A and B are shown apart, each in its own frame.
Chain A
């Protein structure tokens, strides 16, 4: 069973601030790392899937980096907006594609 940790557990930032979260996971048997954005009453929305050490991905104001050797990934949000408020989940996956989720970081962006 993978032990996936995310920090911080929750975060409040002002609109316009930039922020980042951390996901740490065991580096052994790594296959891929997924980031999801989950708004209340909606399905989790896939943000990124990363597989290679050193990978960096970007989608608008959101970007992520991956370090498979030390077992961590960072998610960055530049210029946070109220609509960015959600729970951000990371999940490493094994070769069978099953995801092991961290407990998530709950982001609240205050206008």
Chain B
């Protein structure tokens, strides 16, 4: 199957710093990628839709200035958590689909801990 690579798999950062997470589609082009977040004991919640060459679409309640998304190429989307705080500690995961109506392939996820 298609491969989506996400880095880093875990990161610990100090409160107030920014963290960048990368999501790459390794063997297909993805005009659209998706970023999800998982709170403890909850399911994956869609944060935003990353669109190549244009602005991301954020879900209700997700601060766009807090979670900066850049999709500069057809194989790379980045999520930057700016001025991170302990409440931003969570599991973040990206996905992409090679074609419409096919399965989505997920990255490995990133466990962010803000201390």
- A98-B107 contact in complex given A46-B1, A49-B102, A103-B43, C-beta closer than 8 Å: no
Partner of B34, one of A1, A32, A44, A98: A98
By size class, the interface of chain A is: 20 to 34
Q: Give the number of residue pairs across the A-B interface with Cβ within 8 Å.
A: 51
User: Which residues of B approach A to under 8 Å, CB–CB?
Assistant: 1, 4, 32, 34, 36, 42-46, 49, 60, 93, 95, 97, 100-109
Interchain Cβ contacts under 8 Å between A and B, 9 examples: A31-B101, A34-B104, A42-B108, A43-B105, A96-B49, A97-B104, A98-B34, A101-B44, A103-B42
User: Which residues of A approach B to under 8 Å, CB–CB?
Assistant: 1, 31-32, 34, 42-44, 46, 48-49, 51, 89, 96-104
In the bound assembly, the distance between CA atoms of A51 and B46 in angstroms comes to: 21
Which A residues are in CB contact (< 8 Å) with B1?
A: 46
Q: Shortest 5 CB-CB distances between A and B: which pairs? A: A46-B103, A43-B106, A103-B43, A101-B43, A101-B44
